[in-house]
Amino acid sequence: MHELSIAQSIVELAEQQARSHKATAIEELELEIGSLAGVELQSLEFALESSVKGTMLNDARIVRHDIKAEGRCGDCETEFPVETLFSPCPKCGSYAVKIIRGKELRIKSIVVK
Interface with Zn ion (CB under 5 A): 73, 75-76, 78, 89, 91-92, 94
Minimum separation from the CB atom of position 108 to Zn ion (A)? 31
Minimum separation from the CB atom of position 102 to Zn ion (A)? 18
Helices assigned H by DSSP within the chain: 2-20, 41-51
**26-34 and 105-112 strand pairing:** antiparallel
Nearer CB in complex with Zn ion: 44/97: 97
What sign results for the dihedral spanned by CA atoms 80, 83, 86, 88? Answer: negative
Minimum separation from the CB atom of position 14 to Zn ion (A)? 39
